[in-house]
Amino acid sequence: MGDKINWGKGYATELAQYAIEFGLYQLNKNEIFAIVRPKHLASIKVLEKCKMILFDEINDFPNKENSLIYKIEK
């Protein structure tokens, strides 16, 4: 019920940035990928704020539009 209280405060972006940094520098990965549904505009905005770029699409749900794949490299 109170889920919307924290929307728009940047928590998703902050968490995503931490996850990216953790993957790249603590786990020493060269690239991080994120998959998002094209209608989830707020999630896409978070990925783009984190400097992730649209990389590709994937047909991961039958009879649905393709999901978007975002990527960031070290």
Residues 8-73, CATH architecture: 3-Layer(aba) Sandwich (3.40)
For residue 32, with 0-12 CB atoms within 10 Å meaning exposed, 13-18 middle and 19 or more buried, which class applies?
buried
Where are the extended beta strands (E) located within 1-74?
31-36, 53-58, 67-73
Q: Kindly report, residue by residue over 9-65, the tens digit of the pLDDT.
A: 778 999 999 999 999 999 999 999 999 999 999 999 999 999 999 999 999 999 999
Neighbours of 14 (CB within 10 A): 13
The pTM (predicted TM-score) of the whole model is 0.84
pLDDT at 50: 97
